[in-house]
Amino acid sequence: MSRDVPRPLIHVVAAAVTDGTGRVLIAQRPAGKHLAGGWEFPGGKLEPGEERLAGLARSCAKSLELPWLRPGL
């Protein structure tokens, strides 16, 4: 992509989840993905028009394999 062409704006969300002892939940990026093996907070890219909380719940449910996760829980 040329430097003269503006890139589309991509909104991302992430969750910082801690427990009562101060441990922090982080996820390891899967093999085959950009920056595979790296560690990150759970989250991801928002879909066009998606609300932040809904996108965060969707992304965390997918990446952490928690299908019951929904906004407001």
pLDDT digits (tens, 9 = 90+) for 37-58: 999 999 999 999 999 999 998 8
pLDDT score of 1 more than 70: no
What pLDDT is attached to residue 69?
66
Which of the 8 DSSP states describes residue 71?
T
* Confidence label for 71 from pLDDT (cuts 50, 70 and 90): low
Q: What is the pTM of this model?
A: 0.70
Per-residue model confidence (pLDDT) at position 8: 87
- Nearest CA to 62 out of 24, 13, 23 is that of 13
Inter-residue contact 43 to 11 (CB < 8 Å): no
- pLDDT per position as a tens digit, 15-29: 998 999 999 999 898
